Amino acid sequence: MTVSEEEERARIVSIKGSTVKAKGLSSYRMGEIIYVGEEKLIGEVIAIEQNTATIQVYEPLEGLRINDPMFLTGKSLTAELGPGLLANIFDGIQRPLEIIKKMSKSGYIKRGIQTNAIDREKKWTYEPKDKKKGDVIRGGDILGKIQETESISIKILVPPDVSGEIIEIQEKGEYKVTDPILVFRNRIGDKQELTLMHEWPVRIPRPYQNKLSVSQPLITGQRIIDMFFPIAKGGTAAIPGGFGTGKTILQHQLSKWSDADVVIYIGCGERGNEMTDVLREFPKLIDPHTNNPLMARTLLLANVSNMPVAAREASIYMGITIAEYFRDQGYSVLLTADSTSRWAEALREISGQLEEMPVEEGYPAYLGARLANFYERAGQVITLGSPYREGSINITASVSPPGGDFSEPVTANTKRFVRAFWGLDSTLANRKHFPSINWQNSYSGYTKEIEEWALESGLENWGRYRQEMLKVLQKDNELEHIVELIGSKALPADEQLIILIANIIKEGFLQQNAYHPIDTFCPIDKQMKMMKLILLFYERANMLVRNGCPISLINSLRTVNILKRMKEEIDNEDMTQLNKIEDHIISDMEDLGSKYGYKL
């Protein structure tokens, strides 16, 4: 970055928390990146008053002094976008942690390390597309591609804010990210170069042509989500839950098994070991959709809980900007943020240092607006440029409500902007019912679109199965209160049957073991078949019960156990085994019927 001439005159006048104040210039720009002190700690202007600027600093402030110099950069906080991002881990302001490790020469993150996000030395094999000299280029046009990982071939794009006429163009070959690959004359007649990478300010959403309504599901392989509370590609979901309810595991599951092209995982103010876990586990796992290592489509941003709060605030914007870059290439992107509550707390902390008037629980009045800005950057869009492409961004964000109370400001405000809500429940978690998504208070605003998709995709029973199962669960919930008071013995047989079926649904369908090699991911076909089998069992058992068969006989059928275990014991692709269960159910019920003389 270039340093402005005025650098010498800007001086620190106050230091407090994670912010400093600077004086000495006649004008500052909001959002400008400023290097603070001799160590050149990275900071950003967040408030201006007369000739004083308040700067939030992305690194610890110990050792700074009044009158230490400030260095202006004239730039805003930007993301570097180009080849070399995937399969990497960065901090909240996109510094690569592996490089920091080498430069720090220790296991700790040293201060004041300046490094590029993208490796400047590495050469990439770039294949230009059909553009030639004299062609007009516009923002978003595809110039060529680079096979970055096994899974992803990245498209080299004309940056969104650029257009002109090509006067020079490079052939296929090996290039560094800063090598010019094209020279063009811009609208005012100046010559400009394009390289394999470009930069984009993180707080400004990247432009697109049109936002589309969502239509496709994001297949997650998690039964309760895909079947009960689905999310569409381009959709948003919140995952609120107290500690120990499994937010992080669910986020890991989504990042592992969703059928998104690119996954961006933001560890925002959470545990260090959780990021280490991802780094350790993902390279070993195979993406069931492409058969490539999962890491080849994954990018991690880690700003763990004891890293500076200001960088935690920035990490969310950094993540979504990188997501938009992949969206603009025509990919579907899943962004998982864990957890947005820690981001909101960073906002609160900085707001406090600015002495702004707090509203609820000390949060600033603009909490809702900031959350809205973030979630609105998701969606299914027609991208800029040619050829025609559609891309999407999903956001699944965990929320960590204090005391598990969903009425607190971050959860309440998040609810306003997301369409799917997967509420995690500590009662379920305490029973080791995972994922602990509560089917009573969770919802999805995408069911209508997904139902249409299901009809077109040969899953015409999806809506009906879903309704029937939810009905059983709802009824079970009502009965539960009665059972708690008087025991199940006192209930009529058909109601006892509901409790039995609900039990099978909970144990055999809703619970899904993230650590089981088969159960961790469940393909849609198997999910549908499982629902069909459980409902078939219900239908036949119901006939028997209506003809006077006692519930104990049904409960002792071997198929009850088979239905509870089919998720783990039958291979995901093995449809013949599942069909056999169907035969078992029919024959078991017929045997029972004929043995005791109940008509089916």
Partner 1 sequence: MIIMARIVVTGVSEIRGPLIVVEGVSGIQMGEYLEVKLRNHPTRKGRVLAIEEERVIILLYQGTYEVEKNEIETEFFGRTMQLFVSDDMIGRTFNSLGEPIDGLPTIYSDEYRDVNGTPINPTSRVYPRNYIETGISTIDIMNTLVRGQKIPIFTGSGLPNNQLIGQIIRQARITEKEDEKLVIVFAAMGLTADDYIYFQRLFKETGTLNKVVMFSNLASDSGAERLLTPRVALTAAEFLAFDRDYHVLAILSDITNYCQALREVSVALETVPSRKGFPGYMYSDLASIYERSGIIEDSTGSITLIANLTMPNDDITHPIPDLTGYITEGQLILDRSLHNKGIYPPIDVLESLSRLMKDGIGKGFTREDHPSLSDQLYASYAEGLDKRKLAEIIGRKELNRRDQIFHDFANEFEANFTNQGNFHRSIEESIELGWFLLSKLPRAELTKVSEEYIEKYIPKEEGV
Residues in 231-250 that interact with partner 1 by CB under 8 A: 242-244
Q: Mask 517-556, x = binds partner 1 (CB under 8 A)?
A: ---------------------------------------x
Of the candidate spans 43-51, 415-423, 471-479, 558-566, the one that interacts with partner 1 by CB under 8 A turns out to be: 558-566
Residues 187-226 that bind partner 1 (CB under 8 A): none
The span from the CA of 564 to the CA of 430, in Å, is 20
Q: Applying CB under 8 A, does 432 fall inside the site for partner 1? A: yes
The span from the CA of 520 to the CA of 367, in Å, is 36
Can you read off the two tokens belonging to residue 105? 């020469």
E-assigned strands of 373-531? Answer: 379-382, 390-399, 420-421, 443-444
Of the candidate spans 63-71, 143-151, 376-384, 583-591, the one that interacts with partner 1 by CB under 8 A turns out to be: 63-71
DSSP 219: -
Of the candidate spans 186-194, 313-321, 484-492, 518-526, the one that interacts with partner 1 by CB under 8 A turns out to be: 484-492
Q: Applying CB under 8 A, does 267 fall inside the site for partner 1? A: yes
Q: Applying CB under 8 A, does 97 fall inside the site for partner 1? A: yes
- Cβ-contact 340, 412 below 8 angstroms: no
* Interior/surface letters 204-225, b for 16+ CB within 10 angstroms, e for the rest: ebbebeeeeebbbbbbbbbbbb
Q: Applying CB under 8 A, does 503 fall inside the site for partner 1? A: no
Q: Applying CB under 8 A, does 15 fall inside the site for partner 1? A: yes
Q: What are residue 341's phi and psi, to 5 degrees?
A: -65, -35
Nearer to partner 1, 97 or 194 (CB): 97
What's the closest the beta carbon of residue 267 comes to partner 1, in angstroms? 8
Residues 444-483 that bind partner 1 (CB under 8 A): 483
Q: Applying CB under 8 A, does 484 fall inside the site for partner 1? A: yes
- Cβ-contact 483, 499 below 8 angstroms: yes
Q: Tell me which of 271, 415, 532, 584 binds partner 1, using CB under 8 A.
A: 271
The span from the CA of 532 to the CA of 526, in Å, is 10
Nearer to partner 1, 196 or 278 (CB): 278
Residues that contact partner 1, how many (by CB under 8 A)? 73
What's the closest the beta carbon of residue 292 comes to partner 1, in angstroms? 22
What's the closest the beta carbon of residue 263 comes to partner 1, in angstroms? 17
The span from the CA of 328 to the CA of 162, in Å, is 14
Q: Tell me which of 51, 114, 430, 440 binds partner 1, using CB under 8 A.
A: 430
Residue 197's SS3 state is: coil
Q: How many CA atoms lie within 13 A of 210 on its CB side?
A: 7
Q: Tell me which of 114, 115, 276, 594 binds partner 1, using CB under 8 A.
A: 276
* Interior/surface letters 490-508, b for 16+ CB within 10 angstroms, e for the rest: ebebebbbbbbbbebbbbb
Can you read off the two tokens belonging to residue 449? 């679109």
Q: Mask 16-35, x = binds partner 1 (CB under 8 A)?
A: xx------------------
Print the SS3 string covering 333-381: EEEEEECHHHHHHHHHHHHHHCCCCECHHHCECCHHHHHHHHHCCCEEE
Residue 375's SS3 state is: helix
Identity of residue 128:
P
Q: Tell me which of 114, 153, 186, 273 binds partner 1, using CB under 8 A.
A: 273
Residues 313-342 that bind partner 1 (CB under 8 A): 342
Q: Applying CB under 8 A, does 84 fall inside the site for partner 1? A: no
Q: Residue 240's Cα: distance from chain center in Å? A: 14
Q: Applying CB under 8 A, does 412 fall inside the site for partner 1? A: no
Nearer to partner 1, 272 or 458 (CB): 272
Residues 153-182 that bind partner 1 (CB under 8 A): none
* Interior/surface letters 93-123, b for 16+ CB within 10 angstroms, e for the rest: bbbbbebbeeeeeeeebebebeebbbbeeee
Nearer to partner 1, 29 or 111 (CB): 111
What's the closest the beta carbon of residue 21 comes to partner 1, in angstroms? 8
The span from the CA of 333 to the CA of 259, in Å, is 9
Q: Tell me which of 8, 135, 161, 277 binds partner 1, using CB under 8 A.
A: 277
- Cβ-contact 419, 444 below 8 angstroms: yes
Nearer to partner 1, 174 or 277 (CB): 277
Q: Tell me which of 93, 307, 420, 472 binds partner 1, using CB under 8 A.
A: 307
What's the closest the beta carbon of residue 304 comes to partner 1, in angstroms? 6
Nearer to partner 1, 290 or 305 (CB): 305
Smallest Cα–Cα separation from 493: which of 536, 540, 550, 541? 550
